[in-house]
Structures are given as structure tokens and as C-alpha cells.
Structure 1
Amino acid sequence: MNDVTTDRPIIAFDSGIGGLTVLREARVLMPERRFVYIADDAGFPYGDWEESALRARIVDLFGGFIAEHDPAIAIIACNTASTLVLEDLRKAYPAVPFVGTVPAIKPAAERTSSGLVTVLATPGTVKRAYTRDLIQSFATKCHVRLVGSQNLARLAEAHIRGDPINDDAIRAEIAPCFYEKDGQRTDIVVLACTHYPFLANVFRRLAPWPVDWLDPAEAIARRALSLIKPNGSGAEPEHGDDIAIFTSGNPDFSTRRLMQGFGLDTSVIA
């Protein structure tokens, strides 16, 4: 894939607000860039979709996004979407580089001391052949447990919007991540959903023992940066506001407020 040298915006796409964890890191690395954050809240949660219908939906949506925004690059800041439809997007829109979000199994396998690694994901990501292929490619010397949570993405969305969440509900979702084998304990939990890092401090507080909660957001941002050369002379250019777009066209007040807190212009969804 060729490097991209352009002043066109970067799209960051997610099913909801979880992709803000990736956007945050991308902005740190690329402060001169303009971002268009797109949340497919009309389709949220993706775990409830039949695969072929979700694949068709995302590919179709991107036709409109690309036509309207002419992005330099698109970051699919969603594990479920990436493991399902990333290759379809690349085939459908070959002029646009796509950076996906896949479970950080390789770095987890490289870092673990105990050899016991958990991948905490959505049920869709857990069942994908893509995820199991990553384990076969990079973690055959580890014992990898796949934990598919049905509820954590919703709980993370509620938490980041400031709604109260129940500790017992969180504890029940993460409990299967922790196990012991041959005198060793889980020491790394891969956060394989971009919503989950918003709950990382809650996870640390409720965990039965300390582990490394592996967030791939920075690595995703670095991959995007590697595909984009610096603008012009290196001086920081002026650009328009970063914007947030919701496919429902009608996010609630707390979500609008959250987007504004991230410096995203929500007037386009008014």
C-alpha cells in the first residue's frame, strides 16, 4: 500500500462511541490532521446482527462516506467490523487505505510471562475465523482463552456518557478472563473491543488480581500515521473542525455533550 500525502480528512468509524479511544491516540500522533468521526449508532450493537447483513450494511455505508468526505484514509476503529468486513471494504474501495482494528494477540503473546492470555471481545469477534487464525499464527505457545461479552459494550457506552453502572454487572462480565493453570495465572487481558478501554480503571479495581489490560489504540494510530506523510513544509496547517456524524441522525443529549467534550463538532447532526 502506498503512502498517502494529502490534506484530506481521516475517517474514524465505529458502531458507537468506542472508537473515540482510537481517535484520541490518532489525534496525539497527527494533531495537524482533520478527523471525521462516524458512529453507526443506528446499527449498534453489531453483535446482534447476522453477518452477511452487517457486512452489506457497512460496505454500503462507506460508499456514501467516501463520496461525501473524500478521506485520505479510513480507520475502522471496531474489532467486530474489522474482523468481518475489512477485506470487503478494501476490495470495494481500493483507492482508500483502510486500517483495521484486530485483537492484539501477537503483542500479548510476546509480553506474557505466565503463558495465560485472555482475549476479551464481543461474541462476534470471538467467533470469527480471523481471531482464531491470529492465535494459530502468533500464540501457539500460549494458552489463549476467548471471552465474548454480550453486555460490556453497552455498559461502556453508558459509563462514558456518565450514567451509573453496576460493579457486580462488570465483575460478572470479566470474571471468565481470570483463570489458573499449572500454578500460573492469567497475566494479560487483550481488550478486543474499542469500547472496553473506557472501563479499564473499573476493570483494574474489580479484577481478582493485577493483569496487563492491553489496549491496541496507540498501535492502530501508529499504523495510520505510517500511511500518511507529513503535510507540506511541516508547519501545522489550519483546517476545519473535527466533526461527529451519527447514522441515526439523532444521538441523545449526553452523547452530543460527550462528542463536544472530545472537541467534535456535532452541528452536522442537529
Structure 2
Amino acid sequence: MLVFDSGVGGLSVAREIQQRLPQVSLVYASDNAFFPYGTKGESELIARVDLVIRTLLNRYAVDILVIACNTASTLALPHLRSQLSLPIVGVVPAIKPAAIQSKTGVIGLLATPATVARPYTHELIREYAANCNVISLGSSELVQLAEQKLRGETLDTTAINAIVTELLSARHADRMDTLVLACTHFPLLREELAKALPAHINMVDSGEAIARRVDFLLTDTLQQTAPCAATHIAVFTKATKEAELLAPALAGFGIYQQDYLNI
């Protein structure tokens, strides 16, 4: 299986998949040479994702591709599905389950600024949360903080507190009971966010739903494959000091080998 993201956020999705399918070997790929995706143009991003995915598929034999990045999923999935024959699973902000779970009808949406502004996100809100009050906040800083956390750096918790304070200062925020973590980086900061948020606010993300979907799509393949020990590898598009510093955190996901594409 190939799990792809611009940075390390997709590890939150990889963790859910590993918990559900511990027997499946995983290639985790980070396009760190082009990170972050949220600042790139749409056509530029689609071309980049196409290049990196094709390079990865030529190097590694996988049965399924998971695009564990909201930006890449929104923009590049249609193109990838038209070009590739293997199953592809993308990330969708967990607005539907949040709307179902909320008892007050007030839900928060924490995402990157690009995801908050994207028409696709607005369509999800109209379709699944039309009867809810959705409080949206875009933050690029949380993405950087998640990357720093996995590199073992000391986090600036005042920055997290400031972001949560801004979210809670919105109109009707006193009735918010559910918060959508709509960037795969953000579940990596779940513990820090929980300390800053009121205890009654429940955080939801897409990781578990993606793992269920992967399990369903791999059912036949797993039934036909002899059981063996899973082996995992992390692949980066650029060799950097920051990538090397991720080794201890990657070990926590059972990933002990790193490779570099240099593209």
C-alpha cells in the first residue's frame, strides 16, 4: 500500500490503517521537496502529484494508493483516477460525521486556509451540514507545528492556544460541541489541541473512515495473499536534515527504513 502526503500529516491516516490492517506493508511517501501544497497553484500541483505518484509506482509494487492530503485529494484525484488502474482512496473533511454527531448543531472546521476557501468544502457543508452552524478557521501554522512535533522539536503551545482562542471567539462558538480536524496533520496535534479546547468538544477526523475503505477495497487481495510480516518504508522526494530528524517518530509507526527520490 502507498500512503502519500505533502508532509508528515498522512502518518495520522497511516496509523489508522495500521491499526485496522497490521498485516499490510506500507510505503509512506512525503513530497517534502514541494511542501507545503496549500500555497501552490492548481495546475502546478496536479502536475507535481502526477510526477511523484508515477515515480513511486515505478519503484514500488503496491495494490492501493491513499492520497492522505486534503489539498491533493481535492485537486488531483480526478486526474489520477483517469490515468491509473489501481484503487485510489482520497481524504474528505469529516463534515458529514461531525454533523451527525453534533447535538447542538454547531460544529467547528479546522483546516488549512486553502481547504477552508475551496468550493469543494463549501459543497460538503451544504450537502451534509446544511442544518448546522459551521465555524471555519484556516491555519497553516498548525501544519508547521505538527511537522515540528514529529521532528522532536519543542512546540510553542502559546501558538496553539492562540489558534483555539480565535476559533472559540467566533459567534455561537460557546455552543460548539464537535470540531472537524480537516487536515491530516492536525490529528498529530490532538493531545495539544485537547488541552486547549473545552473538555466537551469532540474532535473528529477522516482517518478511521479511510482505514475502513482501504480494508474493504483490499478484502479480495488479502484473502488471496499468504500471511507474512509487514514491512514499512518512508520515502521522501528530497534528502534533508529535517527528513533525517523524523527517524525516531517514524519508528513509532514501525517505519525503520528511509528512501529518497530526489525529484
Following TM superposition, by how much is the alpha carbon of 1:182 offset from its aligned partner in structure 2, in angstroms? 6.5
Is 1:15–2:11 an aligned residue pair?
no
Is 1:122–2:112 an aligned residue pair?
yes
Partner deviation per Cα, 1:80-115 (whole Å, 9 max, x = no partner): 21122111211121x111101110000011011111
Is 1:35–2:32 an aligned residue pair?
no
Identical pairs, percent: 39
- Name stretches of at least 5 consecutive residues in structure 2 with no aligned partner: none
Is 1:89–2:80 an aligned residue pair?
yes
Give the whole-Å Cα distance in 1 for the aligned partners of 2:258 and 2:136: 40
Aligned to 2:2, the other structure's residue is in SS state strand
Aligned to 1:131, the other structure's residue is in SS state helix
1:254 aligns to what? Answer: 245
Q: Match for 2:254: what amino acid?
A: G
Q: Match for 2:63: what amino acid?
A: A
Give the whole-Å Cα distance in 2 for the aligned partners of 1:182 and 1:205: 21
Aligned pair partner of 1:157 in 147, 152, 157: 147
1:1-270 → structure 2 map (5 Å cutoff) = 10-93=1-84, 95-178=85-168, 185-208=175-198, 210-229=200-219, 231-232=222-223, 236-238=227-229, 241-252=231-242, 253-269=244-260
How many residues are aligned here?
259
Contact 1:83 1:131 in 2 (8 A): no
Aligned to 2:135, the other structure's residue is in SS state strand
Q: Normalising by the residue count of structure 2, what TM-score does the alignment of the two structures yield? A: 0.91
Aligned to 1:190, the other structure's residue is in SS state strand
Partner deviation per Cα, 1:126-149 (whole Å, 9 max, x = no partner): 121111111111110001122110
Q: Which structure carries more helix by proportion?
A: 2
Contact 2:178 2:201 in 1 (8 A): yes
Give the whole-Å Cα distance in 1 for the aligned partners of 2:171 and 2:153: 37
Q: Match for 2:59: what amino acid?
A: E
Distance 1:75-1:180 versus aligned 2 partners, 3 A rule: same
Stretch of structure 1 that moved more, 255-264 or 113-122 = 255-264
Give the whole-Å Cα distance in 2 for the aligned partners of 1:177 and 1:87: 32
Aligned to 2:192, the other structure's residue is in SS state helix
Aligned to 1:157, the other structure's residue is in SS state helix
Q: Match for 1:259: what amino acid?
A: L
Give the whole-Å Cα distance in 2 for the aligned partners of 1:91 and 1:64: 17
Aligned to 2:4, the other structure's residue is in SS state strand
Distance 1:232-1:251 versus aligned 2 partners, 3 A rule: farther
Aligned to 2:110, the other structure's residue is in SS state strand
Q: Normalising by the residue count of structure 1, what TM-score does the alignment of the two structures yield? A: 0.89
- Name stretches of at least 5 consecutive residues in structure 1 with no aligned partner: 1-9
Contact 2:112 2:140 in 1 (8 A): yes
